[in-house]
Structure 1
């Protein structure tokens, strides 16, 4: 009878069973890890799935209060967008068409007078004066404009009745508010006329006035293209860039525009003692309260023109066609608009140089304001 093999001991069987279970768990873990890695690999490299037809896109949810994105803070170094102040949307600027600009320019042009007298490039234009009957409708029209101007109690209200309101507004505020000056009171209407040059017309009224002892008071009105009359405020008040007392006190060496009444003087002194070189001219303020002696070179255009205005014959060799005022009778007084300046280290507050003659009137046109 054959001999049978003996069974393995119990300890050996337990060890074999343990090794088998470990092997099974290892295989299952490997399968699980490989499956998970494969799923991530597919999600990472697969294209995005397009939304179904008709599906609505869902807006991203705002981050919770106080939450921040670490990647955004690291990459930009800035606060998250939700923490930054957002600029307010700008209002759309109104679109201005070329036609609108043309209409505005045309409207502005209608407020301006017409003709060569109002062209800044024009100068030495011959003027004519046509007298008007006091019963003429234009006289009544001008009187109404002046009446409305005088009744107005503020500078802003008066600007509606004056010529070139944008330019004279600063002068009016200085005249009334800083200097404390007033308007010259007009008395009886003595005469009227039209100053004319081509298409340019200025209606002029002449009043008696105690504030104008030498010349009377003139009110000049420019007629715009729209047909309205506007008061020339600077001529009305005989506006000067400085008051006469301030001008004499300061002894300004810069050129200062002044309106005055000119007449011959025999006073030659200080820097202007050479009578052969200088023409002495007495310049009196519009109200007659202040005066200086102005000196102009006899051989200059301004000197010859002023000499003719005040009736002082001065020999000259100018061509006959040179535009000069006619020679008046000796002793004539003439209104003038001039630029004056004191000499350096002036020895007197009474002797000034006449730098230029702007006009033989207080009414200035754009080409004469240079």
Structure 2
């Protein structure tokens, strides 16, 4: 008992630092909060002394936390147990506490361990050639997403107050067309923002109940899936791949018919195909609908049309019809039905005039 009493005295003298706070300290239980000033990184360590401690048995460790995953707590408990067993016959409480503090300090990404494991599992399931690298020293996750010969690379920095604050995305680079690079950059930031900021139109009760959620997995999963699928997408008009097989042959001139356009329903078109489709009849009253055979999994339509418009569009489609059927809309293609009809009529009139001239000359 004298040995334990002396060890308890050392614990009281050394556990009043910034990284730890002593809650309970007696022969029955030692309870200490690690990083008490950082609620999103805090962890509680409970230590108990077995009867034959420290000669034959090591100190008993139990970890509790509201922010770290159960898998992390189980793994860290195992490591602390092994560390304690290496010091049988000696005071072990301060040793295992210092070990835990050092582990959490050296591995800041352990706050998002579950998300990282899920991302790696996704890569494995899809036999993806994408890569995920961890930079513990800078608390960053580096992702290189690949689809065919195309890639999208970015770095996600995990802030100290994660998940209350969203990850910071930086260092984006890609060999995809600029229109798709801008989409990936903008949408990934928006996904991360939505995880920590409540929607503008929320009732008081909903706003009071809003809690920030983890943003790493959701954001990087989007980047992985979108990059993986781009090179597989077919133009809904000509049914040919939108992107060429080799990135170096991508058309950069936004006046070229092969230039890639992305519309708000999420589908990709060749610019020439889209122009032709929008310029030819019929011209329905509500505007032309996307002719794609199925809805796009990453559509922007809900955000720019609203939930009511989406429901209305869906009701117009047959229940067994999986076509997209969403109104075609794009920043560069805002044309009213009357304008489209007038342009078509003018084009037809010119064509008839040319045919009459040809007939006269013949």
What is the TM-score of this pair, normalised by structure 2?
0.24
Q: Specify the structure having the higher radius of gyration (Cα).
A: 1
Flag the structure with more relative contact order, 1 or 2, with Cα contacts below 8 A and sequence separation at least 6.
Answer: 1
Greater fraction helix: 2
What is the TM-score of this pair, normalised by structure 1?
0.23
